[in-house]
Structure 1
Amino acid sequence: MSQSTSGALPPAAQAAGLAVAEGATRTSRRPNRWYRPQNVVGRVILWVLVVLFSLLFLYPFVWLLAASLKPKGQVFDNKLIPETLKLSNYAEVWNQLPLLHWMGNSILIAFLAATLVAFSSSLVAFGFAYFTFPGRTFLFGLVLATMMLPGAVTLIPQYLIWKNLGFLGTNVPLWGANLFGSAFYIFLQRQFFLGLPKELFEAARVDGASYFGLFRRIAMPLAIPSFIIVFLFEFQASWNNLQAGLIYLNAGTVDDFTVPLGIAYSMTKYAPGNGGQGDYQYVMVAALLVTLPMLVLFAFGQRYFIEGVATQGRKG
């Protein structure tokens, strides 16, 4: 009976049935993941762990928010609900500190650093991914080997270079070195470019496209997720770079400081031992306000970030 019924089905229906059966077999054979519990108890435990870790990571931000709303003398009482709310801290901080100058300097430096390193690393990565030449593997290995060098090894040579060029006291050293790419970002974007179909580039070459045209018209539009990932990483790293500001900007004025250097200066300014009055609530307000651009940046770039990571995972 079953044989006659199966024989009465059209060939397309039989093929569809076989495809469904094969899909069900693959699904049944799919291994269970430890982070995907199948029962209710496991899911409850997973959600409890997620909530606990979320609270753990949110605690510093909540503490900072509470400290920014407290009057002097209560900033470090570790209470998440202030006994006395002082909203005027957010208005007074602009008179106490040149926060707008610091944020403007940091935004400019971080944007230049992130844009330059993303573009230069993409260009080098495309060369390693597309071109085949003698010694390519060895040269790429040398590029990756630069990641093994501690920052302290290159700190003094870089300082001497910028000093001889006359850029001490300016923000050029904070973004100028990014003109030459970064080994980690080159590696990251090379892996992305290797996943692009070579037929696209071969067809473009037949149509007369130049090598730079391949990069500009084909590689870069397809590599937007990886470009944005590099941009986000470098923007965040540059925004929080206190060491470079201490080394190269101390010769300038206070208005030339970046956000990390400005907050460090504020802690010293309000320290009672240095003649300050202990007005650390203004430091907390400044620290909270300079955190907001990072949150906004990652909120807008989250879709591209997840897309880029997922694409890299499919290639692995």
Structure 2
Amino acid sequence: MFVKQFHMIYALHNGNLVHISNVSNGLKCECFCPACNGKLIAKKGKVMMHHFAHYDSEECKYGYETSLHLAAKQMIMEHKKIMIPAVYLNFPGSGRERILLSKAKEIKVDQVLLEQRQESIIPDVVLISDQKKIYVEIYVTHAVDTDKTLKIKNSGISTIEIDLSAYKQSLEKEDLEKIIFEDSEQKKWIYNSFEKECLQKFISVAKPMPIISRGYTEHVDYCPMSRRKWHGKPYANFIDDCCGCEFCISAAEDKIFCSAEAGIAEMEDFRKNMEERKLFYMNKADDERYDCFSKRICPNCGGKLVERMGRYGEFWGCDNYPHCRFTVNIDKETGEIIMKS
């Protein structure tokens, strides 16, 4: 069914794409629909926005969308460039924040192909830049579906989606140019091969660890960070400790990939040796433990730290004792904080 609020403002004239502002009014425009090749009339009155309409047939279902594909191609071909979105590394299922791999940047475009089959898929636009392909999908009425997304990922070709669905009226030329040539929220990566490469790099140094259900909670035993301890055995609570942890690279229903033993949480860690990484994250963990103590939270199990009196005087202990034996002593002379698990 044709979406009436979308007015076609691009059409074909002598085989070339033209904007409504550059043609004569009425049938003198001598224009045709880029989708069905039907004869068009240019409506350039004083009340409605200027647009093309089919002259002797019903409005074409794909005319507006196809005209935008052609317009985007023509703009990119004329300027030989496009602004591609920033690339972020997402950690699937882990709950940790994504990290920026590459800022949005302008790239040179050598060639533009429109709706040409690429193995098992037909992208809306194919860009060739520095001998590499980038697919562009233009979303007007239908986003890229699951099947096509899977084919794109299997192809290994980075793909951008330009989302024009929010525009309730026809998209003017200036708006489309801004979206294509500036850093725009309407552009996003459906798939990016560099992100995939970086994720695989993290997974290659991560250790798969099973998620174990115990009653209403899920645990990961032998947590390398010793987030919690139970009768001396280190473990982590999947929801409270693993989700959001900088070393949790990915998580599925039955396991996580943890990079804590390798000491790698950021891209720059790959450029450091093991000793440098170990020292950095050991100091960071100590800072976190001191921060927990300042809030009177046990860094081992998340319990509450309470003040107690022992054989050698006052100390802080976990209220989950004897299951958690974390203690803090403060040297009265030096003020040194001494933590013991």
TM-score, normalization by structure 1:
0.22
Q: Which is bigger in relative contact order (C-alpha 8 A, separation at least 6)?
A: 1
Over alpha carbons, which structure has the higher Rg?
A: 2
Q: Which has the higher strand share?
A: 2
